[in-house]
Every structure is written in structure tokens, then in C-alpha cells.
Amino acid sequence: MTTLYDIARFCDTFEEQVSAIDHLEPESVPDKVSSHIQLYKKSLVMSAIDTLAGLRFVKQDYPELNKQNKKRFVRFIAEFSEWKNGPLISVPYLFEQLSRRNLKQGELYETLCDRLLKYEGNDEGSILHIEDVDVMAVELFELAKTEYEEQLILKSQHFSLFYEYRNSKANNLTESGGVMEAFQYAQPNYYSNQQSDYHDLIQWQLSYPLAHFNALFNHSLKNMRQYFVKTNINPYSLVSDNRLTVAKDQEAVRE
């Protein structure tokens, strides 16, 4: 068996597993958690992407990066997922973070406020696409007056927020559940939620739909397949998980 054969089998197996995740139905989980089926699917797809990131930046070649889960994950999706809006800075999220820290004096805060004011008249529950409101970091760095503000800008980039969304660590990135999980849009978006406790504008809730998770995985897997072929790396040689080795052996037996 050749390396190309193993690459194809490895990637096809990954693709089949994520496809199976996408076809999970609420009936396949206990009734008490059936409303959270989208969350389970997202979590499983994220785990698949994270596994690919670990295979790209292996400990032997990237000892420091391999130990830093967030940096490794963010760099991987930036390089492999083809997410064109990933570099954008989330204006609603950054505005909320500045407000929470009472950093309301300065051109950065005023510019973000003016940008969000344009959408203040939208009906409750209305949708706002990220490309309509968000901007590149370079546009905001010119307005930042301190290193701390620059750090907040970088932490508000969608590549970074996607990781935080996954871990449910950021205050404004908690999963909404309910209606928003049942009515998923194909692209990342914001929906108007409620009045913020930290400023006088509407608080926009960020949502990364399941379709977006699947798209990032599909692009990442496609590009990882190309990476394996270009570098002539057998992905099974990078795997330390015995379960995958056993799965490979079982496939060989079936053949």
C-alpha cells in the first residue's frame, strides 16, 4: 500500500465521520437534551478540526505551538479553512468589551459606536451579517491609544472568537439555544438581542451556524489532503491514537 492510498483512506474516513455527525437526528439522543443537538454537532465538528490542526503542527516540528491549543487552532483555520471573513474584527464584540471595561473615552470607542448606530433602528431579532459591520484590524489599530486596546482588537478577530465560541469562555459568545439553534443561517451573523447593561445601544449576539462549522472542516480537510500529498506525509505516521491504528488495520482486513 502506498502513501497516496493511506492519505486517501485517512481523509475519506474523516469526511465520513463528519458527514455522520451532520446527519444525527434529535431522536438519537435523550429527550432531555434533544434541543441541544446543534451544540453537540458543533462540538464534534470542532474536535475534528482540532485533530487536523494537531496533525499539521506536530510536536516534533512545532514543539512550542503544539503546546498552545488556541494559537495552534487559530493558525490552522487561518491557513487551511479558506474563511475569507476570519481576519475581520467583530465590531459589536469589541464595542461590548470596551464598554465593560469603561474604556469609553477615545476615538476607537466613538468610531465603533458610530458604526453600530446605523443598525440601532433594526427590529428585535433581526439579522446582521458580519461582513456588513465588521472591519479589518488595521483600520482600528490607527484609532487605538494603548497596547491594551490593541490587545482587545486582536482578541476580537473572528479567528480568535471562533475558538472562544467553541470553548464558551467569552461572555458574549455563549450559545443562545432555542430559536436561534432551530433556525440556523448558512453564514455567521449577529442577531439583535437586548439592551446592554454597559452602554445604550442594542447588544448584538454573535452566531456561528452549523453550516459554517461544516464548511470550515470541509475546506480544511481538502487542504490538508493536498498538504499530505505535497509533502509525501503518511497521516497515519503522525497518529499516536491507537484507535485510529486499529481502525486502519480493520479496514485492511475487510479489504
Q: What is the pLDDT along the chain (255 residues), one digit of tens a residue?
A: 699 999 999 999 989 988 888 887 766 556 556 557 777 888 889 999 999 999 999 999 999 998 899 999 999 999 999 999 999 999 999 999 999 999 999 999 999 999 999 998 766 667 888 999 999 999 999 999 999 999 999 999 999 999 988 776 333 344 443 344 444 566 888 988 777 888 888 888 888 888 999 999 999 999 999 999 999 999 999 886 544 443 444 444 344
- This prediction has a pTM of 0.83
CA–CA gap between residue 235 and residue 157 (Å, rounded): 31
The answer on 133 and 38 residing in a single domain is no
The answer on 157 and 127 residing in a single domain is yes
CA–CA gap between residue 124 and residue 111 (Å, rounded): 23
The answer on 152 and 55 residing in a single domain is no
Please give the grid coordinates belonging to residue 166. 467553541
CA–CA gap between residue 212 and residue 250 (Å, rounded): 32
CA–CA gap between residue 163 and residue 51 (Å, rounded): 14
Determine contact, residues 211/186, Cβ cutoff 8 Å.
Answer: yes
Enclosing domain of residue 69: 3-83+211-254
End-to-end distance of the chain based on CA atoms, in angstroms? 12
CB atoms within 10 A of CB 8: 14
Residue tagged 464598554 (cell numbers): 99
The answer on 237 and 168 residing in a single domain is no
The answer on 221 and 203 residing in a single domain is no
Query: Measured between alpha carbons, how far is residue 68 from residues 43, 50, 135 in Å?
Result: 19, 12, 27
203: left (phi over 0), alpha (psi -120 to 50) or beta: beta
CA–CA gap between residue 147 and residue 149 (Å, rounded): 5
The answer on 67 and 53 residing in a single domain is yes
> How many structural domains does the chain have?
2
The answer on 198 and 219 residing in a single domain is no
